[in-house]
Amino acid sequence: MVSISESNANSSNVVKAIRKLNHYDEDRFLRQINLSKRKLNTISRKVAQVAVGAVGIHDEDGLLYNALVTVRKLVFRMDTEPAKSILTWASRIAEKRERFEILFQLHELAELLRFEMKGLAKGDVIRLQLNLGGYRSLDQKLRRIQSVDCKQEEREEILAEVLNSPLMQSAGQALSIRSEAAYYKILAGLMLFSGSIRDAIEPQKQYISFLEKTEWLKSSSEFFLAKELVQLTTFLSVAGYYKEAQAVIFKAGTIEFKSERAKQEQLKQLYPYRMQFAIDTGNSEMGAATLEQMTHFMQEKDRFDALFCTENIYYGLYYCLASENIAQGSLLISKMRKYQSKEFHPRVYSMSKMLEILLAFENKDLEDCSRLIKNFRKSKVYNSSDLFSMTMSLMTRLVNQTESNHAEILEKYLQKATALEETGTEAIFFHHFDLVVWIKSKLNHCPMMEIFQQRTVASTPNHQIKSRVS
């Protein structure tokens, strides 16, 4: 362990190390990572040493939170290796210092790497999860509560133990809420991480109920309530409870915000989710209304950052493609081209470029489509997903073959896309664009929205989803 005197003596190195990990200097930091892996390891060692023997809790917090911010940026940029390196030492330090709220966020990032990124071996994921000793123990206890053979008396004992544990108390302090609310929030998260989305719904509802009854966040409470309602909408939608999900998403949209900043944050959270939900359920009325609202807000782009605008352009573009609104989609493409690539989240940028290719094909502009495919193949994101390479292979064949051969090609790639979707490895990309449905729409000569709607009705036979626009 580095002593306090050693930390003071190396204060200049501390400052340098912090700056390397500081999110305000992110581009410079990423360039240095790309230039030298050895330099990254040196920086990581210095920061880790300083964090272990930090002078005062403020220095320690600053380093760990800076590391968290940097890892998030790296994950968004699909830069796996440096993210893994920083995650490894940060999780070790946070666990040793019992910084459970940081461990929880690191756990989320580890899961994100596992499901969205390539290059992270299964053994690395398991090792990262095993480092989270407190959460591993908690996970086992909560799973026991969920088991069928767990009797009421045992369930109450486990619940009391969990609620009174240092982990829950620390999480409650981090979230500025009582341990009961922290229990429901973390339980929902653990159920989600374990792949049991249906089991995450009830604790999420309990957590929202707590938010609605308590003034624990004062003026900021409405923003967090809207955020959690949006999260519940996602759980319900994925689990197939579309009618209930629609009611929840409208409830989130009716919340009144006291500050302009809170309203902007709500818009960033709410409108992409509303559009995604409208597409997933084939609700054209909701999709058209949301697109109109998005377009209105993007006209006031000075009020919003570029990432908000580009994300909304993507979802608007997806809806236009799904509803075969080629004219409106072309307008969104022209707006999208005004932004530089760094003004997109990487995943949003790559998916937007893919939809641009599909839209050019729908517009029967095969020359432009061929040009866009070549440019996409040259980009660094081309090999980041099997869905991308499969889509480019499909589009290349469609462009180079006569229309009479398209049905045979589409049938072949429908089997491939269905098999890829069933593996679950590309789930995050299929969530943002359903290639299987697009291929089916071409084979059946109907809009994607029609297939989404048929799928929704088939999965909810006891009721008809009502279209309602606020």
**Per-residue pLDDT tens over the stretch 204-246:** 888 777 777 655 444 445 666 776 777 777 677 666 676 777 7
Predicted local distance difference test score (pLDDT) of residue 189: 62
Name the burial class of residue 376, with classes exposed (0-12), middle (13-18) and buried (19+) by CB atoms within 10 angstroms of its CB: buried
**Residue where a domain terminates, one of 103, 131, 159:** 131
Predicted local distance difference test score (pLDDT) of residue 104: 53
Predicted local distance difference test score (pLDDT) of residue 219: 44
Report d(CA 380, CA 104) in Å as an integer.
31
Predicted local distance difference test score (pLDDT) of residue 10: 37
- Local confidence band at 394 (pLDDT 50, 70, 90 cut-offs): very high
Assess contact for 165 and 171: CB atoms under 8 A: no
Percent of the chain exceeding pLDDT 90 equals 17
pTM over 0.95: no
Predicted local distance difference test score (pLDDT) of residue 339: 84
pLDDT tens digits, one per residue of 176-189: 444 456 667 666 76
pLDDT tens digits, one per residue of 269-328: 567 777 887 888 888 888 898 888 788 777 765 666 677 788 888 989 999 999 999 999
Which token pair is 364? 């029967």
Residues of the domain holding 62: 4-131
Cα dist from 13 to 2, 16, 118, whole Å: 13, 5, 33
Closest to 208 in 3D by CA, of 178, 231, 190, 240: 231
* Average pLDDT of span 1-9: 34
Residue 263 lies in a domain: no
Predicted local distance difference test score (pLDDT) of residue 286: 83
User: Does residue 125 sit in the same domain as residue 165?
Assistant: no
Predicted local distance difference test score (pLDDT) of residue 218: 46
Predicted local distance difference test score (pLDDT) of residue 229: 77
Per-residue pLDDT for 344 more than 60?
A: yes
User: In sequence order, which residues have a C-beta less than 8 Å from that of residue 304 and are 6 or more positions away?
Assistant: 264, 267, 268, 297, 298
User: Does residue 160 sit in the same domain as residue 86?
Assistant: no
User: Does residue 335 sit in the same domain as residue 363?
Assistant: yes
User: Does residue 8 sit in the same domain as residue 122?
Assistant: yes
Residue 462 lies in a domain: no
Residue 233 lies in a domain: no
- 440 phi/psi in degrees, rounded to 5: -60, -35
User: Does residue 19 sit in the same domain as residue 87?
Assistant: yes
Residue 237 lies in a domain: no
* Average pLDDT of span 150-171: 64
- Local confidence band at 94 (pLDDT 50, 70, 90 cut-offs): low
Predicted local distance difference test score (pLDDT) of residue 302: 61
Predicted local distance difference test score (pLDDT) of residue 224: 64
Report d(CA 161, CA 170) in Å as an integer.
14
How far is residue 195 CA from its own chain's centroid? Answer: 15
Within 13 Å, how many C-alpha atoms sit on residue 452's CB side? 24
User: Does residue 170 sit in the same domain as residue 96?
Assistant: no
User: Does residue 353 sit in the same domain as residue 340?
Assistant: yes
- Local confidence band at 385 (pLDDT 50, 70, 90 cut-offs): confident
**Residue where a domain terminates, one of 152, 174, 196:** 196
User: Does residue 54 sit in the same domain as residue 10?
Assistant: yes
**Residue where a domain terminates, one of 83, 103, 131:** 131
Residue 291 lies in a domain: no
Residue type, 431: H
- 3 phi/psi in degrees, rounded to 5: -75, 165
Residue 299 lies in a domain: no
- Whole-number average pLDDT of the chain: 68
Per-residue pLDDT for 124 more than 50?
A: no
Predicted local distance difference test score (pLDDT) of residue 25: 41
Max mean pLDDT among 115-124, 155-164, 350-359, 378-387 falls in 350-359
Percent of the chain exceeding pLDDT 70 equals 46
* Average pLDDT of span 416-442: 84
User: Does residue 162 sit in the same domain as residue 44?
Assistant: no
User: Does residue 89 sit in the same domain as residue 118?
Assistant: yes
Residue 247 lies in a domain: no
Between 153 and 149, the higher pLDDT residue: 153
User: Does residue 331 sit in the same domain as residue 393?
Assistant: yes
Residue 11 lies in a domain: yes
User: Does residue 120 sit in the same domain as residue 19?
Assistant: yes
Q: Please count the structural domains in the chain.
A: 3
Report d(CA 452, CA 316) in Å as an integer.
16
* Average pLDDT of span 440-457: 90
